[in-house]
Amino acid sequence: MASGIAPAHVRDKDTMKALLLYPEFPDTFWSFKHVLKFIRKRAALPPLGLLTVAAMLPEEWEKRLVDVNVRALREKDIAWADVVLISAMIAQRDSTVQLIARCRAAGKTVVAGGPLFTVEHAQFPDVDHLVLNEAETTLPEFLQDFAQGSARRVYTSTNLPDLRPTPAPLWELADLQRYASMSVQYSRGCPFDCEFCSVTAMFGHRPRVKTPAQIIAELDGLWQRGWRGTVFFVDDNLIGNKRSLRNDLLPALIRWRKKKRGFTFYTEASINLADDTELMQLMVTAGFDQVFIGIETPEEASLTECNKRQNRSRNLIADVKRIQRAGLQVQGGFIVGFDNDPPMIFQRQIDFIQESGIVTAMVGILQAIPGTKLHERLFQQGRLLGDTTGDNVDGTTNFIPRMNRETLRDGYRQLMDTLYAPGPYYRRIRTFLREFKPPRISGKVNWRNAFAFISASLRLGVIGRERFHFWGLLLWTCFRRPTLVPMAVTLSIYGFHFRKCCLALGA
């Protein structure tokens, strides 16, 4: 398919105008749309991938970012552009289709990449150029061909690039104050091989890392643009390469935070973090206070089925509490719908989550993502039904489960109704706050915390059906763990969001 515009080298001295477009996320578990209203933010995170790609484009190109989660795409944005670069995750599929249609109707060249297109590129015939896999391997070749007017439609590669040449994101393209958190990436890849996970299919088993200097440069860029707040290390398993984390990154972060205060970090890791007390202490000293862990299930047979070997033969609840006592709040991922799940799995999940004090518990029905070993196995068994939605908590699956479908659906709805009803949810917060041992709590109250408290007091404490639970939690926290009152308020607000997006399943 022709590119639709003259290549850069025949456009005299005009520069290319590149519109970087990020589609809207639906109301999902991780969108935090209902939380953002409490703190006057528009989106949880900026589009890190697009901002990094922007830094890989020719320096002479003009660049403009439109994150539809933050502001609407205007016709004049489209008219301004020579070329549109769009990146998306699976959950953004619907918005992506709409945006591509608008750009194509305006006669613009559309270049697409990212997870959605890497696994579903055949479903986007209107895209002019598909730059798939990791941009460090495929984008340079595309840009060279594009400049010569000979760009192919599909660029793909199985090579896993070195991350040390990867440039820092162009933070200046984003309105940082509209986001609740920032994001950086230290590593790609994971040493484990969970059947349902697409991480190793995309990024391999050997974690590749940036240098500490790269990460510090990215954080300095945020600091210079006025950011003070939380930063998400988006690594799928930050401790995949423990040696580099322990010896290189964490010491560098500790030194940096002595000079640049006001930052805290959160990330994702595997459960074997609980085995390494020294590493947990280093992470907390470096500023980490939250970690997402894929627990998946307390059922040993299901862990074996999905090759979650790092979770097997462990006391998972004791592991979670050990991490909490180290000063890291544990957020957990859970799955039902494995072939080996017994009928009582729903109650077992409820009991585990309540006892562990994992307040933010993302529970979904198993879905088969293209490119994973699970997807291939179910294809061979003739059990696939269609595409995955990319929404972890919408109560759907894209394959024929072994469990009776009505049993699975009804059990899942009951599980979610129980977990996020005010009574169990607020009891879970108390369970967590009893265990959590942060090293130091700042006594400063910033405007964001103050506004969130006022908003929560009105919405949750006055008109909310959970008002008695809310005030009961605050009184309990004031007497038992007074330094954790801001955290109690934050988790209460999270519960409001979770009820909005999770309890709708039973409607």
* Tens of pLDDT, residues 357-379: 999 999 999 999 999 999 999 99
Residue written as tokens 């539809």? 68
Q: Supply the CATH number for residue 186's domain.
A: 3.20.20.70
> Quick one: DSSP state of residue 273?
G
- Contact (CB, 8 A) for 185 and 46: no
User: What confidence tens digit (pLDDT) does each residue in 270-312 have?
Assistant: 999 999 999 999 999 999 999 999 999 999 999 999 999 999 9
How many domains is the chain built from? Answer: 3
User: What confidence tens digit (pLDDT) does each residue in 467-505 have?
Assistant: 999 999 999 999 999 999 999 999 999 999 999 887 655
Report in angstroms the alpha-carbon separations of 430 from 287, 292, 471: 23, 19, 13
For residues 142 and 188, state if they share a domain: no
The mean pLDDT of the chain is 93
For residues 265 and 356, state if they share a domain: yes
- pLDDT score, position 449: 67
440 found inside a domain = no
What is the share, in percent, of the chain residues with pLDDT greater than 90? 87
- pLDDT score, position 8: 43
- pLDDT score, position 235: 97
Give CA–CA dist 161/157, Å, rounded.
Answer: 10
For residues 147 and 267, state if they share a domain: no
Direct distance between the N- and C-terminal alpha carbons of the chain, in angstroms, rounded to an integer: 46
For residues 15 and 150, state if they share a domain: yes
78 found inside a domain = yes
Identity of the residue numbered 55 = A
For residues 150 and 279, state if they share a domain: no
For residues 296 and 362, state if they share a domain: yes
For residues 75 and 129, state if they share a domain: yes
Give CA–CA dist 470/344, Å, rounded.
Answer: 31
Task: Give the 3-state secondary structure of residue 453.
Answer: helix
- Give the CA count within 13 Å in the CB-facing half-sphere of 3: 19
- pLDDT score, position 146: 96
For residues 321 and 459, state if they share a domain: no
- pLDDT score, position 452: 77
Q: Extract the residue ranges of the chain whose pLDDT is less than 50.
A: 1-13, 443, 506-507
Domain end position, chosen among 137, 155, 173: 155
- pLDDT score, position 204: 93
Residue written as tokens 């934050």? 490
Q: What is the pTM of this model?
A: 0.94
Alpha-helix runs per DSSP H in 93-229: 93-105, 115-120, 135-147, 199-203, 212-224
- pLDDT score, position 15: 82
For residues 373 and 265, state if they share a domain: yes
Domain span at residue 494?
Answer: 449-506
- pLDDT score, position 7: 47
433 found inside a domain = no
- Contact (CB, 8 A) for 330 and 293: yes
For residues 214 and 340, state if they share a domain: yes
310 found inside a domain = yes
Domain end position, chosen among 139, 155, 171: 155
For residues 97 and 151, state if they share a domain: yes
Domain end position, chosen among 368, 402, 420: 420
36 found inside a domain = yes
380 found inside a domain = yes
425 found inside a domain = no
For residues 151 and 185, state if they share a domain: no
485 found inside a domain = yes
Q: Supply the CATH number for residue 138's domain.
A: 3.40.50
Residue 372 has which token pair? 């994973």
